């Protein structure tokens, strides 16, 4: 998570809304599905050794560049 | 040692004859204080009938999401409110994934699509992908594309597909609680066509979906009847938005008993750790399963979820002195 993360990548709710402890745990074993900046659902591709995700507004993020 | 373990030692370890459904129920009901003995026996059976080697595989989703089927465990069904969006992988990324997989020492690379069965577009993409991989990567290619016609079986065979995955998913008696858009028999039919073609059949299922112990034994017995080359064993990872999203994660000891039971049902099969083991078993349980009947792993990530780092599994195999199967060899 960065300081720009407004929304939870797991559930899509506001980071300020609750602790998201379970979400953080879940994100250890799955890629984010929601854009951290706008909560749009992202198009996500899981690869054998990583993942990449694309928000139609905010662009690409990947396991190499979070 | 309990009666069923003594029977299994004579019948499975010494004679190579798998346990029947009623015997498997006894195994699955065995108490916790016999679990260590059960796993040790299953490991002996694995070594006796399959050898010490472990087969390593990587998988990739070629077409993610938007599936018309309603498999209640799957986040890729278009019928549920899952956050997974539909996407196709392009050929260069597919080849890169095959290269990444081969670098781990894996001998199998499975191309998977979330579909009822392949249409012309998917078959064309698979054909192009296989040709591109074969040009650059030395690895066996497997496919998992749903239910097939005989023509599609023949086409995949002609493309050189080494193994085809099509899981039974659950026992025949529980299947209707898991999937309503196609039948157990339709799945069985595809499996038979694959076997008859000469491609290796990879056919397993998921446990922890609310089935009874008896139905878990039934699944193992039905798989044994089908006699696939490989059985991938998945543990339910409850996915948000799916009908099974609210189910509890299966208890680790039940998962380990299931591994042992599957090995005692199918002493000669490649029994592969597939999805869900990270949640159900954790690091310690993963080791226990490898010493309890498992002789194959999916390394790295799954289709929509992430696995342990490949290095963690490869390091564990090295620590356990379990050699990784090399290419061109058959377990």
**pLDDT tens-digit readout, A11-24:** 999 999 999 999 99
Does position A10 have pLDDT exceeding 50, yes or no? yes
**Phi, psi dihedral angles at B326 (to 5 degrees):** -95, 160
Burial class from Cβ neighbours inside 10 Å (0-12, 13-18, 19+) for residue B330 reads exposed
Task: Tell whether A9 is within 8 A of chain B (Cβ).
Answer: no
Q: How far apart are CA B285 and CA B288, in angstroms?
A: 5
- Cα nearest neighbour of B93 on chain A: A47
Q: How far apart are CA B5 and CA B27, in angstroms?
A: 8
Residue-wise pLDDT for B193-243, tens only, equals 999 999 999 999 999 999 999 999 999 999 999 999 999 999 999 999 999
Residue B329's pLDDT is: 46
Residue-wise pLDDT for A19-49, tens only, equals 999 999 999 999 999 999 999 999 999 999 9
Cβ atoms within 10 Å of B220's Cβ, excluding its own: 31
For residue B34 the two structure tokens come to 């016999």
Distance from the A22 Cα atom to the nearest Cα atom in chain B, whole angstroms? 13
Cα–Cα–Cα angle for B48, B54, B60, rounded to 5 degrees: 145
Residue A5's pLDDT is: 84
A interface test, pick of B75, B76, B301 with most A CB neighbours within 10 Å: B301
For residue B155 the two structure tokens come to 């086409």
Q: How far apart are CA B60 and CA A35, in angstroms?
A: 23
The three state secondary structure string of B157-174 is HHCCCCEEECCCECCCCC
Return the number of CB contacts < 8 Å for A and B: 66
Q: How far apart are CA B312 and CA B5, in angstroms?
A: 32
Task: Tell whether A64 is within 8 A of chain B (Cβ).
Answer: no
Mean pLDDT (whole number) for B167-180: 98
Q: Which of B112, B108, B162 is nearest to B137 (CA)?
A: B108
In sequence order, the 6+-apart residues with CB closer than 8 A to the CB of A9 are A23, A27, A31, A32, A33, A34, A35, A36
Q: Which of A32, A48, A49, A52 is nearest to A40 (CA)?
A: A32
The number of folded domains in chain A is 1
**Segment 14-33 of chain A within 8 Å of chain B by CB:** 28-31, 33
Residue A4's pLDDT is: 67
Q: Which helix (H) or strand (E) holds B98?
A: helix B91-103
Residue B28's pLDDT is: 98
Cβ atoms within 10 Å of B142's Cβ, excluding its own: 22
Q: Which of B105, B117, B59, B54 is nearest to B305 (CA)?
A: B59
For residue B107 the two structure tokens come to 């001998």
For residue B15 the two structure tokens come to 């004679």
Give the residue ranges of the annotated binding site of B for [4Fe-4S] cluster: 67, 71, 74
Give the residue ranges of the annotated binding site of B: 67, 71, 74, 110, 202, 272
Task: Name the percent of chain A lying above pLDDT 90.
Answer: 86
- Quick check: B67 and B116 in contact, CB under 8 A? yes
Task: Tell whether B97 is within 8 A of chain A (Cβ).
Answer: yes
Q: How far apart are CA A66 and CA B13, in angstroms?
A: 50
For residue B278 the two structure tokens come to 């990270």
Is CATH 3.40.50.2300 the classification given to domain B20-318?
no
- Quick check: B84 and B65 in contact, CB under 8 A? yes
Distance from the B96 Cα atom to the nearest Cα atom in chain A, whole angstroms? 9
Note whether A29 contacts B279, CB cutoff 8 Å.
Answer: yes
Q: Look up the domain containing A28 and give its range.
A: 1-66
- The residues that bridge with B201 in the sheet, in sequence order, are B164
Distance from the B9 Cα atom to the nearest Cα atom in chain A, whole angstroms? 38
Q: Where are the alpha helices (DSSP H) in B198-275?
A: 213-226, 252-265
Where do the structural domains in chain B lie, given as residue ranges?
A: 20-318
Residue-wise pLDDT for B254-293, tens only, equals 999 999 999 999 999 999 999 999 999 998 899 999 999 9
**Computed over its alpha carbons, how large is the radius of gyration of chain A?**
11
């Amino acid at each position: 998570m960065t300081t720009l993360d407004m929304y939870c990548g797991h559930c899509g709710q506001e980071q300020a809304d609750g602790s998201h402890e379970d979400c953080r745990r879940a994100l250890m074993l799955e890629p984010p599905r929601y854009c951290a900046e706008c909560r749009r659902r992202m198009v996500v591709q899981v690869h054998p050794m990583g993942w990449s995700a694309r928000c139609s507004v905010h662009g690409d993020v990947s396991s190499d560049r979070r | 040692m309990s009666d069923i373990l003594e029977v299994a030692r004579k019948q499975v370890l010494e004679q190579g004859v798998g346990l029947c459904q009623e015997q498997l129920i006894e195994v699955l009901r065995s108490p916790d204080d016999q679990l260590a003995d059960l796993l040790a026996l299953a490991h002996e059976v694995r070594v006796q009938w399959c050898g010490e080697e472990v087969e390593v595989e990587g998988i990739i989703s070629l077409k993610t999401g938007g599936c018309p089927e309603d498999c209640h465990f799957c986040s890729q069904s278009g019928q549920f409110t899952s956050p997974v969006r539909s996407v196709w992988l392009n050929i260069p990324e597919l080849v890169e994934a095959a290269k990444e997989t081969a670098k781990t020492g894996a001998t199998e690379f499975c191309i998977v699509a979330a579909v009822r069965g392949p249409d012309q577009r998917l078959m064309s993409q698979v054909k192009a992908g296989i040709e591109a991989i074969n040009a650059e990567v030395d690895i066996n290619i497997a496919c998992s594309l749903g239910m097939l016609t005989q023509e599609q079986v023949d086409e995949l065979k002609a493309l050189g597909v080494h193994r085809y995955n099509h899981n039974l998913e659950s026992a025949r008696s529980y299947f209707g609680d898991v999937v309503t858009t196609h039948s157990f028999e339709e799945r069985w039919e595809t499996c038979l066509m694959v076997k008859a073609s000469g491609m290796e059949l990879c056919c397993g299922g998921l446990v922890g979906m609310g089935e009874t112990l008896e139905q878990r034994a039934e699944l193992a017995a039905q798989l044994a009847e089908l006699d696939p080359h490989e059985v991938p064993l998945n543990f339910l990872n409850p996915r948000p938005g799916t009908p099974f999203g609210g189910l509890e994660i299966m208890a680790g000891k039940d998962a380990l008993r299931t591994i042992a039971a599957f090995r005692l049902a199918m002493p000669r099969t490649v029994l592969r750790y597939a999805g869900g083991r990270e949640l159900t078993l954790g690091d310690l349980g993963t080791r226990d399963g490898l010493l309890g009947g498992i002789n194959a792993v999916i390394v790295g990530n799954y289709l929509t979820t992430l696995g342990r780092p490949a290095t963690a599994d490869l390091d564990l195999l090295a620590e356990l002195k379990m050699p990784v199967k090399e290419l061109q060899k058959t377990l």
